[in-house]
Amino acid sequence: MTTDAFNEIAIPLEGVESEHCALIVDKGLGKVHGIASHKVELNNRRALITADENEVVSNAVSAIRDLGYDVPTIKKNIPVLDMTCASCAISVESMLKSQPGVVAAAVNFATTSVAVEYLPNMIDTAGMQKAVQSIGYDLLIESAEKEAETLEAIHQQKFSALKKKTLWAALITVPLVLIGMFFMDIPYANEIMWVLSTPVVLYFGKDFFINAWKQARHRSANMDTLVALGSGTAYLFSVFNTLFPSFWHSRGLHGHVYFEAAAVIVTFILLGKLLEEKAKGNTSSAIKKLMGLQPQTVTVIKADGREEVLSIENVNKNDTILVKPGEKIAVDGMVTAGSSYVDESMLSGEPVPVLKKESDAVFAGTINQKGSFRFRAEKVGSETMLAQIIRMVQEAQGSKAPVQKLVDKIAGIFVPVVIGIAILAFVSWIVLSGDNGFTQGLIAFATVLVIACPCALGLATPTAIMVGIGKGAEKGILIKDAVSLELAKKVNAVVLDKTGTITEGKPVVTDSYWENEDLHLKQLFFSIEKQSEHPLAEAVVKHFEGLSATAITGFESLTGRGARAQANGSVYYAGNRRLLDEKGIRIGEAFLERARQWSDASKTVIWFADAQEALAVFAIADQIKSTSMQAIQALKQTGIEVYMLTGDNEATAAAIARQTGITAYQAEVLPEQKAAFVKQLQAQGKTVAMVGDGINDSTALAQADVSIAMGKGSDIAMDVAKMTIISSDLNKIPEAIQLSRQTVATIRQNLFWAFIYNVIGIPVAAGILYPVNGFLLNPMIAGAAMALSSVSVVTNSLRLKWKR
């Protein structure tokens, strides 16, 4: 560790192009607490800072980013090996944070991984690995694909080694306990017990001592320290009593031996770990299930019509793939021939198979039913939706919930505090009951160390989050971070977008009116809409199917209004009435008349115009999703306010609101106004969930406390939103809120049990009840209780999985 010298850290800068920028950054750094000196080198595009603590770097980097300049860093999720306990997580975390160049490090004990952000010019993964190794842990540094496999193999191997060790330890411990309880009067009882307990404590339990030693070298301590001290004290004390029984006899006392206690502690803690590992494996079963959905081989149809079975890595984009009845679909793509029903429940949570025909999208991991079809591969490997979901769920399961911060703080000081209490108990016993107090004080010392368990505390939050996020994924609710999962239960206002959220988002042109029908104009309209990403544009494109496109230039999307482009030197617009009004475009009476009729029939009206006058008006209908009304009712029934915001016109909005039972809505809102509306609700103290599907919703999504995107919507909305409902069924919103409630309740129960257990267990172990009723906790029982506490926390989290 380099805590002694003042470290110089070079922070690379991006966007610092002028003397002026350099000055701003330098001034910004001047305000960061803890920086000893700083200078900005414009030519080298970097800032040099010195500080006696590396933690300052994180503040410096965020200060630079706050000023609008970027610091190129690398973010990685690296598996951590050999962590046994939540306080190990804290040790690894602070070790990494102290390495020059590490900007941030967050260790998650449940997923046994660390999320690091670092400056690649200062440190690399090998450097971090070395630091972590020095305190007795390790980082698994591998290529991303191999990582999952290797990690799985390592876990498997460790698990079976642990199983063997526990079994042997238990086999030896059972006779030991029998002797200790019933046969203390046989000859050489003490010596026999010494012989039996030695392999258990010193061989099967050697890792506790080794790890405690490694920790001690860095002046830190973790659960292993507690176990090593507790069991080691009992063992050494017993050895002493066996060798020098006269020491106590001469003082008129009996030197009892505690060999069985020393061994039982080790055995129980090994057993507890074994059960914990097993349960922890179950909490991540959702991920394993998702990974298992990927088939290993694919039937590709070659250009000459030959069928060839390839392994999944060898499939390329644009390959034609044959899907036979009952087969799993291997990659994402679009159906080119044939049709069939496909079970997409694993992705969307929707149990009913979906009909797939020509030009429909199919997804990796879904299962074909009875038909057969061919499709063209469009996304392969890590690009498929399945791969993205897996990545997202993994990251989310590793993210920290806000409550975790407090728990981490407590876990960090837990071990030293416990050792303090243990010493205090020992000293008190001697002071209060003299010579006799020494033996009992020593036992109280060992018992306190053994019963105190920081792991239950450390497991309380992450295991519940893992199960909650995994369960969400199974229901087709993708949750990107723990914060959203924790927050969702507080939501009391839901803002819904109309098109694509309440409605199907599959608009169809139902009517159209041209003053002068002209093929070239139609082609122009078609060409503009063809370039637009808006769902309404798709309807127009479909309407003109078969028409050929014509050359346009300078296409520009006007969010909330429509689009424009140029052709033959003049400008053309496709969009809403607002757009035409803003451009001062004339609209003939015949158009206006039809527009009124159509919007009263709750249809969306869009226009096509040149710079002077309207050329055509179209009516587009978009059906309300069959599930929307029920979902809106369900939300209202739980006391949540429901609002609708839409960029569409007033009459259409009113009609949709009426049909779905929404009383509060606003029409013709621009994207910024959607965000402003959310902000306004927040200002009234509400926790707001925004639900949307389009680019026009993304600012509002970013503003909301909980952001929910529709899986069938635009990629941008899904990128911004912290939750995605893959099936786009609004009924999943109350379900997500319910899931959040259950998860938070589980976390609370877990924390309660973890705390109460220590709050009661430690004083009793110290002997607080002894003056009252003569009760002294047996160190063996303490070992069992300690093992049980983390098992019960993990089991409670698993219960969440089965809750409805």
Which residues participate in catalysis according to the annotation? 497
563 binds, options Cu ion, Mg ion, ligand ATP, none, Cβ within 5 to 8 A by partner type? ligand ATP
Nearest Cα to Cα of residue 656 among 648, 492, 619, 674: 648
Pick the stretch among 91-99, 122-130, 411-419, 640-648 that binds ligand ATP (CB under 6 A): 640-648
Cβ–Cβ < 8 Å for 172, 195: no
Token digits of residue 473 = 């994924």
Residue 537's binding partner out of Mg ion, ligand ATP, Cu ion, none, with CB under 5 to 8 Å set by partner kind: ligand ATP
Tokens of 700: 């509002």
Q: Which is nearer to Cu ion, 714 or 789 (CB)?
A: 789
Q: Cβ-count burial of 142 within 10 angstroms (0-12 exposed, 13-18 middle, 19+ buried)?
A: middle
CB of 733 to Mg ion, least distance (A): 16
Beta carbon of residue 512, minimum distance to Mg ion (angstroms, whole number) = 22
Question: Three-state SS for 508?
Answer: strand
Dist. CA 304–CA 560, nearest whole Å = 48
User: Under the criterion CB under 5 A, does residue 497 sit at the interface with Mg ion?
Assistant: yes
End-to-end Cα, the chain, rounded Å: 50
Q: How many residues bind ligand ATP (CB under 6 A)?
A: 23
Select from 201-209, 532-540, 592-600, 736-744 the region that touches ligand ATP (CB under 6 A): 532-540
Among 40, 261, 455, 552, binds Cu ion (CB under 5 A): 455
Toward ligand ATP, which CB reaches closer, 536 or 726?
Answer: 536
* Residue partners of 488: CB distance under 8 A and separation at least 6: 689, 706, 723, 736, 737, 739, 740
| Size (the chain), residues | 804
**553-558 and 641-645 beta bridge pairing:** unpaired
Rounded Cα gap, residues 566 and 716, in angstroms:
27
Residue 667 binds to ligand ATP (criterion: CB under 6 A):
no
Q: Is 622 in the site for Mg ion (CB under 5 A)?
A: no
Least Cβ distance, residue 723 to Mg ion (angstroms): 16
Q: Residue 670: how many CB atoms within 10 A of its CB?
A: 15
> In this chain, which of 534, 564, 603, 686 binds ligand ATP, going by CB under 6 A?
534
507 binds ligand ATP (CB under 6 A): no
Size of the site for Cu ion (CB under 5 A): 3
Q: Judged by CB under 6 A, which stretch of 131-139, 213-221, 409-417, 531-539 contacts ligand ATP?
A: 531-539
**Cβ 555 to ligand ATP, closest distance in Å?**
10
Our finding on whether 561 is near ligand ATP (CB under 6 A) is: yes
Of 705, 723, 110, 117, residue with least CA distance to 389? 723
Question: Which region, judged by CB under 6 A, interacts with ligand ATP, from 32-40, 496-504, 517-525, 763-771?
Answer: 496-504
According to the binding rule CB under 6 A, does residue 696 interact with ligand ATP? Answer: yes
- Nearer to ligand ATP among residue 62 and residue 510 (C-beta): 510
Q: Of the two residues 481 and 497, which places its CB atom closer to Mg ion in the complex?
A: 497
Least distance CB 308 / Cu ion (angstroms): 55
Q: Closest CB to ligand ATP among 169 and 620?
A: 620
Taking CB under 6 A as the criterion, the residue among 366, 499, 602, 790 binding ligand ATP is: 499
Give kind and range of the element (H or E) at residue 642.
Answer: strand 641-645
User: Which pairs count as long-range contacts for 591-594, CB under 8 Å and 24+ apart, including other chains?
Assistant: 591/513, 591/515, 591/617, 594/511, 594/513, 594/619
Residues whose CB is less than 8 angstroms from the CB of residue 288 and which lie 6 or more positions away in sequence, other chains included: none
Binding mask 598-637 for ligand ATP (x = CB under 6 A): ------x-x-------------------------------
Q: Does 457 bind Cu ion (CB under 5 A)?
A: no
Burial 22-48 (b: 16+ CB within 10 A, else e): bebbeebbeebeebeebebebeebbbe
Tokens of 264: 């039982």
Residue among 328 and 534 whose Cβ is closer to ligand ATP: 534
- C-beta of 641: minimal distance to Mg ion in Å? 20
CB of 532 to ligand ATP, least distance (A): 4
> Binding to Mg ion by residue 694, rule CB under 5 A?
yes
Q: Letter for the amino acid at 615? A: L
Q: How far is the CB of 604 from ligand ATP (least distance, A)?
A: 5
Q: Which does 541 bind (CB under 5 to 8 A by kind): Mg ion, ligand ATP, Cu ion, none?
A: none
Distances (CA, A) of 583 to 571, 579, 607, 608, 650: 11, 6, 13, 13, 20
User: Residue 638 is encoded by which pair of tokens?
Assistant: 């739980």
- Nearer of residues 490 and 594 to ligand ATP, judged by Cβ: 594
Which residue number, 699 or 796, has a Cβ lying nearer to ligand ATP? Answer: 699
Decide: residue 502, CB within 10 A, 0-12 exposed, 13-18 middle, 19+ buried: buried
Q: How far is the CB of 457 from Cu ion (least distance, A)?
A: 9
- Interaction between residue 223 and Cu ion (CB under 5 A): yes
Calculate the CA dihedral of residues 419, 422, 423, 425 and round it to 10 degrees: 160
CA dihedral sign, ordered 658, 659, 662, 664: negative
| Best CA proximity match to 318, nearest among 340, 305, 300 | 300
Would you tell me how many other CB atoms lie within 10 Å of the CB of residue 480?
A: 21
Q: How far apart are CA 430 and CA 604, in angstroms?
A: 86
606 contacts which partner out of Mg ion, Cu ion, ligand ATP, none, CB within 5 to 8 A by kind? ligand ATP
Q: Which residue is nearest to Mg ion (CB)?
A: 694
Q: How far is the CB of 563 from ligand ATP (least distance, A)?
A: 5
Q: What does each C-alpha distance from 534 to 29, 196, 243, 595, 713 come to in angstroms?
A: 44, 76, 86, 20, 10
Q: Which of 214, 356, 498, 603 touches ligand ATP by CB under 6 A? A: 498
Whether residue 106 contacts residue 146, with contact meaning beta carbons closer than 8 Å, is answered with no
Residues of this chain, 296-355, that bind Cu ion according to CB under 5 A? none
Residue sitting closest to ligand ATP (CB): 647
Site for Mg ion contains 343 (CB under 5 A): no
Contact between 91 and 219 (Cβ < 8 Å): no
User: Rule CB under 5 A: is residue 560 a binding residue for Mg ion?
Assistant: no
CB 389 to Cu ion: min, Å: 34
532 binds ligand ATP, rule: CB under 6 A: yes
Based on CB atoms, which residue is closest to ligand ATP, 119 or 574? Answer: 574
State both tokens at 709.
């995107």
Residue 455 site contact among Cu ion, ligand ATP, Mg ion, none (CB < 5 to 8 Å, cut-off depends on kind): Cu ion
Among 493, 495, 524, 537, binds ligand ATP (CB under 6 A): 537
Candidates 132-140, 401-409, 427-435, 450-458; binding stretch for Cu ion (CB under 5 A): 450-458
**Site residues for Cu ion per CB under 5 A:** 223, 453, 455
**Site residues for ligand ATP per CB under 6 A:** 497-500, 529, 532, 534, 536-537, 560-563, 574-576, 604, 606, 646-648, 694, 696
**Site residues for Mg ion per CB under 5 A:** 497, 499-500, 693-694
